Structure 1
Amino acid sequence: MDSVSIYLPGILLAYSAFLISIASPGPNVLAVIGTSMDVGRKSGMALALGVSCGSFCWAMFTVLGLSALLSTYAMALTAIKVGGGVYLLWLAYKSFKAARQKSDLTAKALEGGDRSPTGYFLRGLIIQMTNPKAALAWIAIISIGLTEGAPIWVGMAIVVGTSVLSVVIHLIYAISFSTPVMVHLYGKARRVIQLALGSFFAFAGIKLLSSRFSD
């Protein structure tokens, strides 16, 4: 029980980083919203599940890869956390910059014509798995929750928790944002969300960097 209390704060921070990272729609989420609006909720939900499956795969690859790396090179955790902290600060900068822009939320369905639900699922999976930024994002998220000497269950807890959040949030986007009214309302709140996103990433990045330099 004591071991759980030791690693729980890092796990919850990793959950928070992931949750807030998808609070501001990127290309994948906008594709889910646009597909729900233009094609239908069923297609949008299938695409959302595909994107979530891709997120799960990236999370698993990251945890297994970092665990293997750390078992061989213990000092690698410092480099990973520094890199993750710098990337989080970059995301904070991008979020603050986006908050200053006046452009509204633009959601469009995927090009290439209508597909079956299976087709949309596979398309979502492929889009997520071929996104190079996903790898950097997951390294940053996993590194927040991992501490030196952390057992494998810590990484698995992050994978399971973020996977559940991914499915739930993406499905909420597909169901709730299937009307132009919801997209309009979300667009009105975009700047506030981007500012909150930037503030959190700045906090997480500074915390990650300070934890390494204070060791």
Structure 2
Amino acid sequence: MDSISPYVAGIFLSYGAFLIAIASPGPNVLAVIGTSMAVNRQSGLALAMGVATGTLTWAMLTAVGLSALLATYASAILIIKVFGGLYLLWLAYKSFRSAASAHDIDVNELAGGRRTTWGYARRGYIIQMTNPKAALAWIAIISLGLAPDAPLWVAGAIVIGTFILSVVIHLIYALVFSTPTMVRIYGHARRVIQGTLGTFFGFAGFRLLTDRGGVWDAR
């Protein structure tokens, strides 16, 4: 049986990168918040579940693709880590730039009129799957915990863990940010949050670019 300990740190780093990523409002998060505020919590929750399902799809596609690539070309991990590290450093730059900006978050209702509960869930899935940055983000997130010799359960743990986190966090957004007051509170703390995000992205990007072992172990 494969030892678990050499892979645990990488898996949790992938979880951390994912949590930090969804702490920064993107199109999916803003859609959930806007729907909860402008329509109702039920619609916001439905949209959140659609987004979380899209997260699961992206995670599965990326994990399967990277696992298959590494099984055939183990040396490809270097290219993947360099690519992922550079993308994380780019996210760090954007987070620091956002922290320096006085512009607040924009929360609006989805275009296209009101929908059924299923319609909001479907719309959430579409929003997540058509996000042009999602593929880049998932390559960076999963490459933090995946290595050429990693057993299949490592990719599975990353996929399942991030899906659970996505469900919980997006549902919290739908519940908590269903009032303008919470949006204002978040707006006041936005610069601190973005600065924290930038620090983490910078750390994760640097580790990916300097990690030569492929696995976060204690050698």
Question: Counterparts in 2 of 1:7-156, with a 5 A limit?
Answer: 7-156=7-156
**3-state DSSP class of the match of 1:212?**
coil
Q: What's 1:211 paired with?
A: 211
How far apart in 2 are the matches of 1:107 and 1:53? 22
Q: Is the 8 A contact 1:32 1:47 kept in 2?
A: yes
Query: In the TM superposition, what whole-angstrom CA distance separates every residue of 1:156-214 from its partner, at most 9, and x where no partner exists?
Result: 10000000000000000000000000000000000000000000000000001000399
> Quick check: 1:59–1:138 contact (8 Å CA) kept in 2?
yes
- Poorly superposed stretches of 4+, deviation over 4 Å: none
Partners of 1:9 and 1:214 in 2: CA distance: 12
1:2: Cα distance to partner? 7.0
Report SS of the residue matched to 2:212. helix
Please give the alpha-carbon distance, in whole angstroms, between the structure 2 residues aligned to 1:98 and 1:172.
23
Other structure's SS at 1:168 match: helix
Residue 40 of structure 1 aligns with an amino acid whose one-letter code is N
Q: Report the secondary structure of 2:24's partner residue.
A: coil
Distance 2:176 2:185 in 1: 11
SS in 2 for 1:105: coil
Structure 1: runs of 5+ lacking an equivalent: none
TM-score by length of 1: 0.97
CA separation of 1:214 and 1:108: change in aligned 2, threshold 3 A: closer
Distance 1:214 1:30, change over 3 A: closer
Larger displacement relative to structure 2 (2-11 or 122-131)? 2-11
Distance in 2, matches of 1:179 and 1:12, equals 32
Q: Distance in 1 between matches of 2:2 and 2:81?
A: 24
- Match for residue 172 of structure 2? 172
Contact conserved, 1:88 with 1:140, CA < 8 A, in 2? yes
Shift in alpha-carbon separation, 1:3–1:57, aligned structure 2, 3 A: same
Percent of aligned pairs sharing the same letter: 66
Distance 1:35 1:143 in 2: 33
Would you say the 8 A contact 2:80–2:143 is kept in 1?
A: yes
Alignment RMSD (CA, Å): 1.5
Question: What 5-or-longer segments of structure 2 have no aligned partner?
Answer: none
Higher helix share: 1
**Compared with structure 1, are the counterparts of its residues 193 and 125 closer, same or farther at alpha carbon in structure 2 (3 Å cutoff)?**
same
Q: TM-score, normalised by structure 2?
A: 0.95
Conserved? CA contact 1:105–1:184, under 8 Å:
no
- How far is 1:148 from its partner? 2.8
Residue type at the aligned position of 1:201: F
Q: Within 1, Cα distance between the matches of 2:31 and 2:188?
A: 19
Task: Give the Cα–Cα distance (whole angstroms) in 2 for the partners of residues 148 and 62 of structure 1.
Answer: 15
Residues 171, 214 of structure 1: alpha-carbon distance in 2 compared, 3 angstrom cutoff = closer
Alignment partners' CA distance in 2, 1:90 and 1:103: 20
